[in-house]
Structure 1
């Protein structure tokens, strides 16, 4: 009951901070002006994701002080998240070259992975597989990719916020289902409520955007939460990958197609499936709500089967991703024609 009030307070603080940051952005002229690559048409303040960062990073030491969060997890999330958020904040206010951003991203990934104890063993069709040093390399690449894809997918009103809220709520539920003896479910629940306070300002039509500070912070935090969950029980890594399926599939297909054509993948574009869908439907709200529905009514049930070991993790990932691949193909993810429209 006390933790419930703590979640409510965190959400309220995030909501209030977002309102303050909106006024700050307007005063400092931190405005996203629409251009030919934008998915929005109205100049809108940016940088509201800092409210998520402050809310969560303030709450984490309190959880640790109450013995509800291990110190190594606190250090992992605080150090990695803070570094990425500061870099994103500076980039929101000016420009940081991509190579320096990537250097910080890889450093933050290594930091977080080190304090979490590395990458745990995977369960594949009933077998427990230790990847050794290869697991560390793959985990760092996975963390950096999820961090950046979250930034890529933060392109229409409410999408990145809805994704974080539903994925974290689902992740918390899955942890509680398989390990009700632990308090680890509280961490993703706390992140969900931090984002929810911001979502009240960001839901279509958005009154403020998240910005690189918020999207990068969410990306690396979600990646580290998925690895931390895998340490609790191995099948949970597959659960988180399934829950994150919409973002992973759209961003990965789009990236691969752009790289194949020799395009500079790190430059701004509007060729993601969700962007093309929003242009077809003429509204951000329908796409954002559709992603919410997919997460709740498709990905969460499959993730539940994997969490309860009724379905193998890799098989569950394949089953859950198949319709997402078809949707991405239907909405021309990474297609040059979609980008040029």
Structure 2
């Protein structure tokens, strides 16, 4: 059965649901009021990312029931995604202590890894390494870090949405190039769901994603990357390349803040993209630049890796080097 009609359906559902969630947030006073640690200047409703969760998971369950998606990856995405989204939704409505959030994150990651089979063997310079149980532990930390960094990087209008759309569409292209086109449906569904939300979130945003949406995107992208790695080892490296903007900025910032002794779980405005948005006094140029970097720099390198012309680890190092230089240029992790 042809499932491609689900793509525009996913986008329309997310578009309409985000509008409804905006009205709900206004009625319930779920508003992000600007403060000293904010990157926005106007009080804005939050929690719109729930539309991404609902539209994507509904499409996922329908596709699985029609046999277009395997049930193991369906259960992995459903269990982990719903758990993280509910946890984020509760945090959007009232603060949850960091240690309980982190516990929930590892439970969700463990659930997903049980169904995807953990970390598959890694291909490095022509050699294949099976890390065994250590690889599964590493994969759990990878998923938890990815969902948290996605939350950290969702700090200016449209940036998390543009990153997800670029990554998902690029991943679908890579699947097609490697003969794994059957895997493309899931990233495309996610990308189209986010595009419906982006209508409301594009600078200047009329609603924010909230923790429910950003955390859900982070863990979902992570699970999809592990699914891809099971099909072709080089695809994991390609996913890491495609997510490079977020991974480098968030990791560099966290490292500098840890060295300084900051409380890393507290909100701050010291990511490179936040310094850049203040320097240019607008969110739009930074958000568009992230999209351009993804398509003009990271995607071509990922294609070289996927096609076998470049080793995966070497491709990551090449892709990340200018991103690290940008992080240094914009003082990522510096004290505000």
* Alignment-derived partner of residue 144 in structure 2: 144
TM-score for the superposition, normalised by structure 1: 0.97
TM-score for the superposition, normalised by structure 2: 0.99
Output aligned runs, 1:118-129, within 5 Å: 118-129=118-129
* Alignment-derived partner of residue 32 in structure 2: 32
CA–CA distance in 2 between the matches of 1:183 and 1:63? Answer: 12
CA–CA distance in 1 between the matches of 2:60 and 2:185? Answer: 10
Q: Secondary structure at the match of 1:183?
A: helix
For residue 2 of structure 1, report the CA deviation from its aligned partner. 4.5
CA–CA distance in 2 between the matches of 1:2 and 1:161? Answer: 27
For residue 6 of structure 1, report the CA deviation from its aligned partner. 1.5
* Alignment-derived partner of residue 96 in structure 1: 96
Contact 2:3 2:63 (C-alpha < 8 Å) held by counterparts: no
* Alignment-derived partner of residue 294 in structure 2: 295
Deviates more, 1:120-129 or 1:62-71: 62-71
* Alignment-derived partner of residue 281 in structure 1: 280
For residue 95 of structure 1, report the CA deviation from its aligned partner. 1.1
* Alignment-derived partner of residue 4 in structure 1: 4
Show CA shifts across 1:84-117 (max 9, x none).
0000000000111111110100000010011001
* Alignment-derived partner of residue 329 in structure 1: 328
Q: Secondary structure at the match of 2:128?
A: strand
Output aligned runs, 1:115-194, within 5 Å: 115-180=115-180, 182-194=181-193
5+ residue gaps in structure 1? none
* Alignment-derived partner of residue 200 in structure 2: 201
* Alignment-derived partner of residue 258 in structure 2: 259
List structure 1 runs of 4+ shifted beyond 3 angstroms.
1-4
For residue 190 of structure 1, report the CA deviation from its aligned partner. 0.5
Show CA shifts across 1:150-199 (max 9, x none).
0000000000000000001101111111024x411111011000000000
5+ residue gaps in structure 2? none
Task: Give the CA RMSD over aligned residues.
Answer: 0.9
